[in-house]
Amino acid sequence: MKNPKSFPLLLFLIFGVTSCQTAPSENKTKDNAFIEILDDEALALIDPEAEIEVIGSGFDWTEGPLWLEEQQILLFSDIPPNTLYQIGEDGEPKVFLKPSGYTGTTPRGGEVGSNGLIMDPEGALVLFQHGDRRVAKMRGSINQPVPEFTTLADSYQGKRLNSPNDGVFDRAGNLYFTDPPYGLEGNVDDPARELDFQGVYCLKTNGELVLIDSLNSRPNGIAFSPDETRLLVANSDPKHAVWYQYDVVSPGELTNKRLFFDCTDLVGKEGQKGLPDGMKMHPSGILFASGPGGIWVFNPSGIPIARIFTGEATSNCAFSADKKTLFMTADGYVLRVGLR
């Protein structure tokens, strides 16, 4: 989608990696990526000439980026090979955890690995595990990771979850998460599927699992507004590619579901790979959300103010601790772009 405010990126070489299969080598900016400014409001955070850098490639399908400030590493899921990677200052991807999402002994296909990754209030790694169909906490520490997990949620009213995808904690420690069917081998038609809906849930601090919404066809990314009065949920259905928002009344109680933005008309168009997927909220109230073309940047009113085109189907994003770097997982790539 061309626009007079689009700014193609120049190529230049930086240190880094180009493949998860090889040693570090010279890296470059993504040659088919660029930034589109739709409103000057975006200029407070985004430099239209910022370069979108490739910091890893050659993966199967990357997801769940999570920056760890103390360790100075980026974690991310590579879902089909059931592996969690890290990239540190040396720019070399290393296995952080394997298996990451399926710990069974029966071989199976599909999207088996972990998807979203977040830290709980106590500093433990929480994984949304497609293959094991659960939300789980890693038992080892970040500095000594082990593929051993404690289940936080794996069923609702006696029926197994589909395949938890992404989540977010509120300040009180309640966990909100989405449960689409993507981790099931047969997706929504899988015979092992036990629930007849794709839910949005809240796992309360007392252990109660509350169903918030069962009417979204493919709930995916999830994020709070900075004051936690609103919850936003992406719906990654090509027939209804939208973002919703809810008002938060109390933990597990939401009301006033309404449309935040609808991009269904762009799905499948040239240069518009991808669907509403993972997202992160900037402290300013600006939402960075993956969608057709790359990352959409919305103001609090749901108006797109910029787009970061990655040239790939983009699954998710994450900020560095100082919010001056945005990391993006896009198909087989891991990317980053500097922010103001």
For 269-295, what is each residue's pLDDT tens digit? Answer: 999 999 999 999 999 999 999 999 999
The whole-number pLDDT of residue 24 equals: 39
- pLDDT confidence of residue 27: 64
What confidence tier does 207 reach under pLDDT thresholds 50, 70, 90? very high
Question: What is the pLDDT, as a whole number, of residue 5?
Answer: 34
Q: Nearest 5°: phi and psi at 189?
A: -95, 10
Strands 167-169, 230-237: pairing is unpaired
What per-residue confidence (pLDDT) applies to 7? 32
155: CB partners within 8 A, 6+ apart = 161
Report the amino acid identity of residue 61.
W
Instruction: Report the Cα–Cα distance between both ends of the chain, in Å, rounded.
Output: 25
Q: With beta carbons less than 8 A apart as the criterion, state whether 174 and 202 touch.
A: yes
Read off the pTM: 0.91
Check pLDDT > 60 for residue 105: yes
Question: Mean pLDDT over residues 131-159, rounded?
Answer: 97
Per-residue pLDDT, averaged over 225-251, amounts to 98
pLDDT at position 1, please? Answer: 40
How large is the C-alpha radius of gyration of the chain?
19
Give the separation between CA 233 and CA 177, rounded to whole angstroms.
Answer: 9
Tell me the sheet residues that pair with 95.
Answer: 85
CA distance 77 to 20: 13
244 and 256 in contact (C-beta within 8 Å)? Answer: no
